[in-house]
Structure 1
Amino acid sequence: MVNHRGIEANPAKIKALLDMKCPTSVKQCLIGKGIGKPPVACILCKQKVAGRGNQAHRIEVRTAYPLRHILHKPESSGRMLKWAVELGQFDLEYCPRAAIKGQALADFVLKFDEEVDDKAIVLEEPTSQESHQDEKKQELPHPWWILHVDGAVNNNRSGAGIVLITPEGHCLMSASHFKFNATNNDAEYEALINGLKLALEVGAVNLIVQSDSELVVNQVNGGFQARGPRTELYMRCTKRLLEKFLSAKLESVPREENSNADALAKMGS
């Protein structure tokens, strides 16, 4: 366990090893991940078998580590030498570990302490796959997407910049060039409409739209009146697209908070 004091042993796992029951079958197949666990397991196994009689039985140890080479090194000392002497009286056969399915399951189970109830895993089989998916869609809230839009007009050329941010933080960027004459407000509306279409195409349900054009934001939100037939058409088209989302918010932000979309708009123009 890693905590503010450093790295310490896990008391629950130590208790599990101490309380582990000895094997009951004669033929044992031991699977170990570390250097210390297989020798200890062999001793426990042999002690249990020896209690039935003096007949020796071969024990097969399956491991991915070179235990035979380590335990029979001439320069072994300390704990290794003690293990080598202790295991020398037994008939051990070290074999390579061919499959790890059983070990993987055991490692997974050991990650959860029995004393902690909140770590329990409950598996429930749904009645049908379709009903389970429908319930999941109803229960889980839809995440929010963020859309930054901006329009730019330079030297009778115009463009739009779009930055769509997914709930996971990924950015979808687009720079568009307009081959028709457009005013600043037209470019802002074009960027907004194209951004909303992009969000609908990728499946966004809840959307927050941010633009640095206070005029466009207030016209769509109802604060300002749209003057001119062209501006009114832009505003109606924007409102129809916003209604297709489950929830959509149009906000006005400072230009410095919309810098990425502004740079793409200038690139497009």
Structure 2
Amino acid sequence: MAVKSQAIADLLAQFPGSEECSLSEEIPGEVAVMELPGKKWTMRFDGSATATSYGLGIVLSSEDGDTLPLSFKLGFSCSNNAAEYEAYLTGLTIALVIGVKHMRVLGDSNLVVSQVKGDFALREQSLVAYRTWAQRLEQEFQTFNIEYTQRSENRFADALATLGSQMSIKGKNTLITVSRQEHSIIEVLRRMFSKELK
């Protein structure tokens, strides 16, 4: 268990998020896992591979509206099918780390979805390890289902995969915040400077 916990901690250390408070000062080096008893989660995933760049997009969403969007830039080259499997396995690993027990997966890679369901034979030897790990991780969930979805229904994960593949990152990571802006900046500025504009 210690090796498994360390491997998960190492994975998460590669992709730190912003924390509002420290995890635990009592046990240095330990990773806190939120309790998610019975919550049902949906994971959408996508991989992107071009001639020179590779990225992953993962969106984890709980039934009560919590959403965890993740984008990764791969530091190694791989095929598009391998990038899809990288996204799938990374998403499953993160879901397990945060304590997800009930998982529904939606992906627009017919190959990955069909291979892990057993509907397609595995023909590329380079994908054998991916499928083996997929089967192992899927068994860790109490309930698990994977379905194919149209690319048009997977836009968020696709955008995150493209973002990861196209960005140039100095260092290990960069934090990007995408915010919803309800009004034009002109309206916001008018309110901010209303006293000066009168």
**TM value normalised by structure 1:** 0.47
Identical pairs, percent = 39
Match of 2:137 in 1: 241
Per-residue deviation at 1:194?
Answer: 0.3
**2-structure distance, mates of 1:201, 1:220:** 21
**1-structure distance, mates of 2:136, 2:114:** 16
Q: 1:260 aligns with which of 139, 146, 156?
A: 156
- CA deviations 1:4-54 (Å, max 9, x no partner) are xxxxxxxxxxxxxxxxxxxxxxxxxxxxxxxxxxxxxxxxxxxxxxxxxxx
- CA deviations 1:61-114 (Å, max 9, x no partner) are xxxxxxxxxxxxxxxxxxxxxxxxxxxxxxxxxxxxxxxxxxxxxxxxxxxxxx
Q: 2:69 aligns with which of 139, 159, 173?
A: 173
Match of 1:227 in 2: 123
Match of 1:251 in 2: 147
Match of 1:186 in 2: 82
Given the alignment of the two structures, is residue 162 of structure 1 paired with residue 162 of structure 2, yes or no?
Answer: no
Per-residue deviation at 1:167?
Answer: 2.4
**1-structure distance, mates of 2:68, 2:160:** 12
Q: Note the 1:88-107 alignment, pairs <5 A.
A: none
- Runs of 4+ with deviation above 6 angstroms: none
Q: Note the 1:55-66 alignment, pairs <5 A.
A: none
- Range with bigger deviation, 203-212 or 164-173: 164-173
The gaps in structure 1 that reach 5 residues or longer are 1-140
Q: 1:212 aligns with which of 108, 111, 135?
A: 108
The gaps in structure 2 that reach 5 residues or longer are 1-36, 166-198
DSSP-derived class of the 1:151 partner: strand
- For 1:249, the aligned partner's letter is N
Per-residue deviation at 1:153?
Answer: 1.2
Per-residue deviation at 1:162?
Answer: 0.5
- For 1:171, the aligned partner's letter is T
Match of 2:40 in 1: 144
DSSP-derived class of the 2:145 partner: strand
DSSP-derived class of the 1:168 partner: coil
**2-structure distance, mates of 1:259, 1:229:** 29
Per-residue deviation at 1:258?
Answer: 0.5
**TM value normalised by structure 2:** 0.63
Structure showing greater radius of gyration is 1
**1-structure distance, mates of 2:126, 2:139:** 20
**2-structure distance, mates of 1:183, 1:219:** 16
**1-structure distance, mates of 2:99, 2:63:** 12
Match of 1:31 in 2: none
Per-residue deviation at 1:142?
Answer: 1.9
Say what the alpha-carbon RMSD is for the aligned residues.
1.1
